Amino acid sequence: MPNNDYVCVEHLSHRFRLTRKIAIDAVKDVSFSIDRGEILGLVGESGSGKSTVARCVMGILRPSEGRVMYNGIDVNGPKLSREDKLRLQCERQIIFQDSGSALNPRMSVRRILSEPLDIHGLARDRGDREKLIAQNLDFVGLDSGILESLPGELSGGQRQRVSIARALLMKPKLIVADEPIASLDVSIQAQIVNLFKRLQAEHGFTFLFIAHDLAMVEFLCDRVGVMSKGRLVELAPTRQLYEAPRHPYTKALLSAVPIPDPRLERSREIPVYHEPENITRREWIQADENHYVLMER
Amino acid sequence: MSNLLEIQNLSVSFDTPAGEVQAVRDVSLSLPEGKVLALVGESGCGKSVLCRSVMKLLPRTAKIKSGSIVAGGVDITNYGERDMRRLRGSMFAMVFQDPMTTLNPVMPVGDQIAEAVRVHNRRISRTDAHRRAVELMKLVGIERAEERSRLYPYNFSGGMRQRSVMAIALASNPRILFADEPTTALDVTIQAQILDLFRQIQSTLHTATLFVTHDLGVVARVADLVAVMYAGRIVELGTVEDIFYDPRHPYTWGLLQALPAWSRGRDTLNAIPGMPPSLIHPPRGDAFACRNEYALGIDYLEQPPMFKISQTHSAATWLLDPAAPKIQSPIQGGPHAE
Ligand SMILES: Nc1ncnc2c1ncn2[C@@H]1O[C@H](COP(=O)(O)OP(=O)(O)OP(=O)(O)O)[C@@H](O)[C@H]1O
Ligand SMILES: Nc1ncnc2c1ncn2[C@@H]1O[C@H](COP(=O)(O)OP(=O)(O)OP(=O)(O)O)[C@@H](O)[C@H]1O
Ligand SMILES: [Mg+2]
Ligand SMILES: [Mg+2]
């Protein structure tokens, strides 16, 4: 069935096999889509499968069941044409939370940023390249002075910004960002979230944004999905989700957001969410316009 | 109340081909028993280097240029690796951001904690080490500890993993705990539980904690004291109330205003304009001056001293000089006051 969704995740499940006997069902029957130019947030419990979804969307992991469509291309399709493969490679970029630590420790920042341009034959002219690199470093609040540094000589947040700059350099159409700003301080987070918003408005790129910081998600995203224990439990436009959450896990999550006010924050009891036992039926129902929730009984 | 850790006028630099990186500049800090001190500040301002320099876990290119470090009443400034190894087992422990990098994926969690117990107490028997491991798991709030001690990290939720990491850190009975963004990778419900665990450990074990974070919501929940760092220096120091309800340094104002709560209903967040200065040739005067809309002429010329505001509160900004113009803090009244 052809449709206009830019990214379409259909009944995605992923199982990690650890040993012959042990397997983890990390993602269970998750479906959602992202429109072209939309920023979709994905939040939820630690270990609920958000990163696994992100990796499946990028084709880093192969789904055990279901599929991921990117602009009409089956990301894990068996017979992709060369052209489709190249598009998947150039048009999608992923930023991991700790992608800074995945930078090659022996490469200078300059080489780290030049390499993807080399591979795809972009900005061949030296002057253009310098300008492009400087511009993208500036985007993420770094000074060209760090170009000759090695990753080990940078702080955690500086490394993270180098990898954000590297992803942006490719002018991707889809960015999958898996906690891209968690390791940055508030002011730089603000700067990068502003940047994402601006780039989104100017270039209309599509965005899957995974984060634990619900205030940032509220600020940045058009719609938000909530995951718990491998399942998508709620999906709604941001305003609606924050103002009228339906699923008990979403409610617990939203009420746990720390308030930057010590007297208020310390006097609060944070509710603990317990999944109901013996769930026999699960149903994905529409609670409101564009607002979906998983009913569990 | 005694100070478990006293850092005085500490300066730490790295030798790099581009020049000397002055990562920590003239930092003085004391950490009392049973308290959590939150260290906040811009990425790259020297928070991790400060922790690592106390634990002497810096690369060889780093040098302590000046200052002193006194831990548990003993001057350890000139301690070598052998002395430090002993101290790291008994005096200090560290908790990092990502539990998965600390835990061994193919070893039962209980065995990993027991191993940590044995590293610090070689004479203990295997059974006793295991018993102690289960005790520690209970201490950090892992239910059904005996049973779970035989499970592997992947059987644990993110919260239980971070609790296990805490148990490993506590295995050596440390008196001073360094926590470098220990909850950044956790969702907010688990984060709240872990923060409460930190506070509970504080009050039962009387450890002192240096807690590095950039999340001011986390600071509000966990910290007794707060040190705000900028470009290698501490620019404001106070109780958590001082910092949230009566901040004095323009950089602290900027940090608080960058919170999304301050931008409700607007299109952009309040980022502090500009970039932090290079630490290779830090500027003369106040390093924050060129980004500070309240900067005075003198800020560009002379480093402000720490002005004492109260017994607990001090800040390094010329705005506190008696001769400076009186400036109303933009933070007054909180984000919701208009
Ligand atoms: N490579 C792997 N091998 C085995 N199990 C894995 C692997 N990666 C993830 N898992 C497991 O799959 C589940 C989902 O993990 P995932 O990393 O997708 O969660 P997450 O929502 O991103 O969590 P977090 O918020 O902590 O990043 C977890 O139980 C995790 O332990
Ligand atoms: N091995 C090194 N060689 C040279 N410079 C270094 C080295 N390690 C750190 N630095 C520099 O020292 C400064 C302080 O780094 P540090 O890691 O303490 O920052 P941080 O405050 O912990 O930041 P973040 O919040 O991003 O983790 C940074 O500017 C960094 O570039
Ligand atoms: Mg993840
Ligand atoms: Mg750090």
SS (H, E, C) chain A: CCCCCCEEEEEEEEEEECCCCCEEEEEEEEEEEECCCCEEEEEECCCCCHHHHHHHHCCCCCCCEEEEEECCEECCCCCCCHHHHHHHHHHEEEECCCHHHHCCCCCCHHHHHHHHHHHCCCCCCHHHHHHHHHHHHHHCCCCHHHCCCCHHHCCHHHHHHHHHHHHHHCCCCEEEEECCCCCCCHHHHHHHHHHHHHHHHHHCCEEEEECCCHHHHHHHCCEEEEEECCEEEEEEEHHHHHHCCCCHHHHHHHHCCCCCCHHHHHCCCCCCCCCCCCCCCEEEEEEECCEEEEEEC
Residue A4 pLDDT exceeds 70: no
In short, whether B61's Cβ falls inside 6 Å of ligand 2 is yes
C-beta atoms of A189 and B258 within 8 A: yes
C-beta atoms of A258 and B269 within 8 A: no
State which residues form the domain around A112. Answer: 7-296
Phi first, then psi: give them for residue A106, nearest 5 degrees. Answer: -100, 0
- Cα A120 to middle of ligand 4, angstroms: 33
Establish if A98 belongs to a structural domain.
Answer: yes
Percentage of residues of chain A with pLDDT beyond 70: 98
Residue A183 pLDDT exceeds 80: no
What region, left, alpha or beta, does residue B141 occupy, with left being phi > 0 and alpha being psi -120 to 50 degrees?
A: left
Tens digit of pLDDT for each residue in A121-157? 888 888 999 999 999 998 888 888 899 999 888 887 8
Establish if A1 belongs to a structural domain.
Answer: no
Residue A64 pLDDT exceeds 80: yes
Establish if A87 belongs to a structural domain.
Answer: yes
Q: Which atom of ligand 2 is nearest to the CA of B50?
A: 18
Q: Which atom of ligand 2 is nearest to the CA of B232?
A: 14
Residue B209, pLDDT score: 95
Residue B86, pLDDT score: 84
Phi first, then psi: give them for residue A292, nearest 5 degrees. Answer: -120, 145
Phi first, then psi: give them for residue A192, nearest 5 degrees. Answer: -75, -35
Query: In this structure, what DSSP letter does residue B267 have?
Result: S
In short, whether B230's Cβ falls inside 6 Å of ligand 2 is no
| Cα-only R_g, chain A | 20
> Which residues have any ligand 1 atom within 6 Å of their CB?
A 16, 18, 24, 26, 46-52; B 154, 158, 185, 187
Establish if A185 belongs to a structural domain.
Answer: yes
Residue B338, pLDDT score: 40
What ipTM does the predicted assembly reach?
0.83
Residue A2 pLDDT exceeds 50: no
- Cα A37 to middle of ligand 4, angstroms: 34
Stretch A200-206: mean pLDDT: 86
Establish if A60 belongs to a structural domain.
Answer: yes
Of A235-239, A269-273, B61-65, B312-316, minimum mean pLDDT range: A269-273
In short, whether B232's Cβ falls inside 6 Å of ligand 2 is no
Establish if A130 belongs to a structural domain.
Answer: yes
Residue A164 pLDDT exceeds 60: yes
CB B219 within 8 A of CB B225: no
**CATH number of the CATH domain containing A37:** 3.40.50.300
Residue A271 pLDDT exceeds 60: yes
Whether chain B has a CB inside 8 Å of the CB on A183: the answer is: yes
Phi first, then psi: give them for residue B46, nearest 5 degrees. Answer: 115, 10
Establish if A142 belongs to a structural domain.
Answer: yes
Phi first, then psi: give them for residue A131, nearest 5 degrees. Answer: -65, -45
Residue B269, pLDDT score: 86
C-beta atoms of A263 and B18 within 8 A: no
CB B218 within 8 A of CB A258: yes
- Cα B158 to middle of ligand 1, angstroms: 9
| Residue owning the nearest CA to atom 14 of ligand 1 | A49
Task: Tally the domains of chain A.
Answer: 1
Minimum Cα–Cα distance from B272: chain A residue: A187
Establish if A2 belongs to a structural domain.
Answer: no
Residue B334, pLDDT score: 64
Tens digit of pLDDT for each residue in A15-40? 988 777 778 899 999 999 999 999 99
Residue A98 pLDDT exceeds 80: no
- Cα A273 to middle of ligand 4, angstroms: 31
Stretch A96-110: mean pLDDT: 83
Q: Which atom of ligand 2 is nearest to the CA of A158?
A: 26
Kindly report the pTM of this predicted structure.
0.87
Residue B127, pLDDT score: 94
| Residue owning the nearest CA to atom 12 of ligand 1 | A26
| Residue owning the nearest CA to atom 16 of ligand 2 | B46
Query: Any idea which ligand is nearest the CA of B12?
Result: 2
Q: Report how far apart, in Å, the C-alpha atoms of B107 and of each of B114, B149, B150, B153, B263 are.
A: 11, 10, 9, 8, 46
- Which candidate in B36, B40, B43 is best for mutational testing of the A interface (most A CBs within 10 A)? B43
CB B155 within 8 A of CB B106: no
Run means of pLDDT, 10 residues per run, chain B, 338 residues: 90 92 96 95 90 91 95 93 85 78 86 91 92 92 88 81 89 91 85 89 91 92 96 97 95 90 81 85 90 91 95 96 86 60
Rounded to whole angstroms, the Cα distance separating B93 from B125 reads 22
